[in-house]
Chain A
Amino acid sequence: MYRYDSYDQSIVDARVEEFRDQVQRRLTGALTEDQFKPLRLMNGLYLQLHAYMLRVAIPYGTLSGKQMRKLGEIANKYDKGYGHFTTRQNLQYNWIKLADAPDILAELATVEMHAIQTSGNCIRNISSDQYAGVSADEVADPRPWAELLRQWSTFHPEFTYLPRKFKIAVIASDDDRSAMRLHDIGLKLVSKDGVIGAEVYAGGGMGRTPMVAPQIRDFVAEDEIISYLEACLRVYNRYGRRDNKYKARIKILVHEIGVDEYRRQVEEEFAHMKQLGLNPPTEELDRIRPFFANPAYETGLSEEIDRADPAFALWVDRQVVAHKQPGYAIVNISLKPLSGIPGDASADQIVLVADLAEQYSLDELRVTHAQNLVLPHVKKADLYAIWQKLDEAGLAEANLNLITDIIACPGLDYCALANARSIPLAQKIAQRFADTERQAELGELKLKISGCINACGHHHAGHIGILGVDRKGVENFQLLLGGSGAEDASLGQITGPGFSEDGVVDAIEKVTDIYLAQREGGERFLDTYRRIGMKPFKEAIYG
């Protein structure tokens, strides 16, 4: 894992003290709320439905045990004993007191963490593949580039006041586990003639105008990635709309001027950038790379897993995936217990996972955009012990990528922007499909719920998506089918008129019945939908 150098630490420490002063001035009235709001947002502090909410950055979703433990300690000390892992691999605390915020940031800084640029019209936390560095199919570990981008984008003076927020994802596998093409910019590391570089995608995103990012370059050499991104951002910063926040994202610019024209302008700017010699020195990437070198794996380990306990065997089959290193496995920890809140974890659960990471996963864990956790380096011989501890803590649900592994935004239970509640609906759907055999029969089925058009719950990218809307003061839910955030990215289509909360659960059951009746061979739900289209599903839902 990356460790802060003196520059990283000093700028984070300085920001904490700067914010401490700003909070003090707000509390004494020297700053009005209008003056203070942009300052607190730059430090991830929102005023939400019930209280202040603090969003903590988890760079590319990677944490050490020590960092995770600190997140749990903060949840206990300053919040109400839990936190919420988000679809951008971050963590949110829901009940923060303004006066405590500087102390929380100071505690985060002691473990090389912060909340900088988790809000505002700037480059947000860089997201990446939760299996980075341990997946056998990647061309390179994407995290050194993600870290380089983190350093480049942190306090970047030119990109602090962009037309709108800006999200970047970096992956390095053909399997896209990061919804890369639904980001403002997506990078996919590739190897071309033995040289590492990146495919670049620009203008993706969800929200009220969802778009899958088109490719704007098929290869940028690794030492020119920063300059190329700088060119992409410069064109956006210059021409992105500032007159209408709903048309301010880069996807609107790329769509309105066309991908060819956007690409032409970026190439022109890129040529100019190259003359300026603004690429970071290759020594910096060389300095970063060893932090992500393979940990000290043991060799000669057994591949055997004792599957005598059927509940354990079920969990292994669903939650454990292949690791590139013989004798090791990747463990996915579900944060989707059937009656739970998607993405929520208690302080005790957070600390337990920190302990497990230290004891069993070479002191490392990951957060996924699907609101789950990952222990990336687990010896197969340790799987049973880990499962027992997870089971005791209510963290042994075996539902990865099944219909109950639901992504859900906080919705109207917590969010001031939401129009409808996402979490109770997720719970009702999970209960309706609680039977494990039924879930297995349905197979991979990604269900995603957003409580408003801003799409934090990625409903556009759900095989089944649900959008909560406000219909004359009453919660109403639109149903979408056919979305995907994976390598076969696509946007879901609305089935028709919306439903009540119970009505949409019934509709989903009808949709899955049609799938089971019409699927061929080993088709996933998404495959069947793409083959037979919307019509049979609409007929089943609306009669």
Chain B
Amino acid sequence: MGRSGGEYFGDAGVKILTGNDLVTGDVIWWAGDGWSRQVNDSVDVGDKGDDLVRTEEAALRVVGAYVIDATTDDEGVRPAHIKDRIRALGPTVRPDLTLKPNDADAGNWVI
């Protein structure tokens, strides 16, 4: 398990891969054919996560990569743990710096 708490996740979810862009430090999500800054672009990596971590870190595309549990629904991909939801959104106290800069209530998504 990586930085998040996979134990809080039920059986009906997916495994997704996240990390930080080596150069910019931006939070990024594995989208199947590359990395995205949008958590909703994440794909289920199943049991391939650890192999992807090794490959992508070796290719200098990501740093600190790890696999987390998440759920998917009509609204998109939701990491299982609040820490990863905050990573996905951005700091909840700075809506202007989040993925939803025009939504003053964006922070409620992480709760």
Q: A interface vs B, CB < 8 Å? A: 26-29, 33, 47, 49-52, 80, 95-99, 341, 412-414, 416, 418, 421, 423-424, 427, 470, 472-475
- Pairs across A and B, CB under 8 Å, 29 listed: A26-B22, A28-B60, A29-B58, A33-B63, A47-B63, A47-B64, A49-B27, A49-B83, A50-B25, A50-B27, A50-B87, A50-B90, A80-B97, A96-B25, A97-B23, A97-B25, A98-B24, A98-B25, A412-B83, A413-B86, A414-B91, A416-B3, A416-B83, A423-B91, A423-B93, A424-B93, A424-B107, A427-B93, A473-B80
B29 CB, nearest partner CB in chain A, Å: 13
- Bound-state CA distance A26–B93 (Å) is 32
Contact of B57 among A28, A33, A97, A99 (CB under 8 A): A33
Q: 12 extra interchain contacts, Cβ-Cβ under 8 A, other than A418-B83, A424-B107, A473-B5?
A: A27-B60, A29-B58, A50-B90, A50-B91, A51-B27, A52-B20, A80-B97, A98-B24, A423-B91, A473-B80, A473-B82, A475-B82
**What is the 8 Å Cβ interface bit string for chain B, positions 83-106, against chain A (1 contact, 0 not)?**
100110011111001000000000
Contact of A27 among B22, B26, B64 (CB under 8 A): B22
Contact of B64 among A28, A29, A33, A470 (CB under 8 A): A33
- Bound-state CA distance A331–B77 (Å) is 49
Nearest B residue (CB) for A28: B60
Contact of B60 among A29, A52, A99, A412 (CB under 8 A): A29
- Bound-state CA distance A49–B26 (Å) is 9
**What is the 8 Å Cβ interface bit string for chain B, positions 66-92, against chain A (1 contact, 0 not)?**
000000000000001111001100111
Greatest chain A CB density within 10 A among B22, B81, B93 is at: B93
CB-defined contacts of B91 to chain A, threshold 8 Å: 50, 413-414, 423
CB-defined contacts of A80 to chain B, threshold 8 Å: 97
Nearest B residue (CB) for A423: B93
A469 CB, nearest partner CB in chain B, Å: 12
- Bound-state CA distance A75–B9 (Å) is 38
CB-defined contacts of A29 to chain B, threshold 8 Å: 58, 60
Q: Are A97 and B24 in contact (CB under 8 A)?
A: yes
- Bound-state CA distance A473–B71 (Å) is 15
A43 CB, nearest partner CB in chain B, Å: 15
- Interface of chain A, helix or strand or loop or mixed? mixed
CB-defined contacts of B8 to chain A, threshold 8 Å: 472-473
Q: How many A-B residue pairs have CB under 8 A?
A: 74
Nearest A residue (CB) for B63: A33
Nearest B residue (CB) for A27: B23
**What is the 8 Å Cβ interface bit string for chain B, positions 46-58, against chain A (1 contact, 0 not)?**
0000000000011
B79 CB, nearest partner CB in chain A, Å: 11
Q: Are B25 and A51 in contact (CB under 8 A)?
A: yes
Nearest B residue (CB) for A36: B63
Nearest A residue (CB) for B3: A416
CB-defined contacts of B94 to chain A, threshold 8 Å: 341, 413
- Bound-state CA distance A418–B83 (Å) is 8
CB-defined contacts of B60 to chain A, threshold 8 Å: 27-29
**Contact A421-B20, Cβ < 8 Å, known A50-B27, A416-B3:** no
**What is the 8 Å Cβ interface bit string for chain B, positions 9-38, against chain A (1 contact, 0 not)?**
000000000001011111100000000000
CB-defined contacts of A51 to chain B, threshold 8 Å: 20, 24-27
A246 CB, nearest partner CB in chain B, Å: 18
**Contact A412-B25, Cβ < 8 Å, known A47-B64, A51-B20, A424-B107:** no
Greatest chain A CB density within 10 A among B22, B82, B86, B91 is at: B91
CB-defined contacts of A52 to chain B, threshold 8 Å: 20, 25
- Bound-state CA distance A470–B23 (Å) is 31
Q: Are B64 and A474 in contact (CB under 8 A)?
A: no
Greatest chain B CB density within 10 A among A26, A27, A29, A473 is at: A473
Nearest A residue (CB) for B92: A413
Nearest A residue (CB) for B90: A50
CB-defined contacts of A473 to chain B, threshold 8 Å: 5, 8, 80-82
- Bound-state CA distance A47–B26 (Å) is 10
Per CB-CB distance, the 10 closest pairs between chain A and chain B, nearest first, are A51-B25, A473-B8, A52-B25, A413-B91, A423-B93, A97-B24, A413-B93, A29-B60, A33-B63, A473-B81
A325 CB, nearest partner CB in chain B, Å: 40
CB-defined contacts of A416 to chain B, threshold 8 Å: 3, 83
B3 CB, nearest partner CB in chain A, Å: 7
CB-defined contacts of B27 to chain A, threshold 8 Å: 49-51
A451 CB, nearest partner CB in chain B, Å: 11
CB-defined contacts of B3 to chain A, threshold 8 Å: 416
**Contact A47-B81, Cβ < 8 Å, known A341-B93, A427-B93, A473-B8:** no
CB-defined contacts of B83 to chain A, threshold 8 Å: 49, 412, 416, 418
- Bound-state CA distance A99–B94 (Å) is 25
Nearest A residue (CB) for B4: A473
Q: Are B81 and A98 in contact (CB under 8 A)?
A: no
CB-defined contacts of B63 to chain A, threshold 8 Å: 33, 47
A22 CB, nearest partner CB in chain B, Å: 14
CB-defined contacts of B57 to chain A, threshold 8 Å: 33
- Bound-state CA distance A427–B92 (Å) is 12
B110 CB, nearest partner CB in chain A, Å: 9
- Bound-state CA distance A420–B5 (Å) is 13
Q: Are A49 and B24 in contact (CB under 8 A)?
A: no
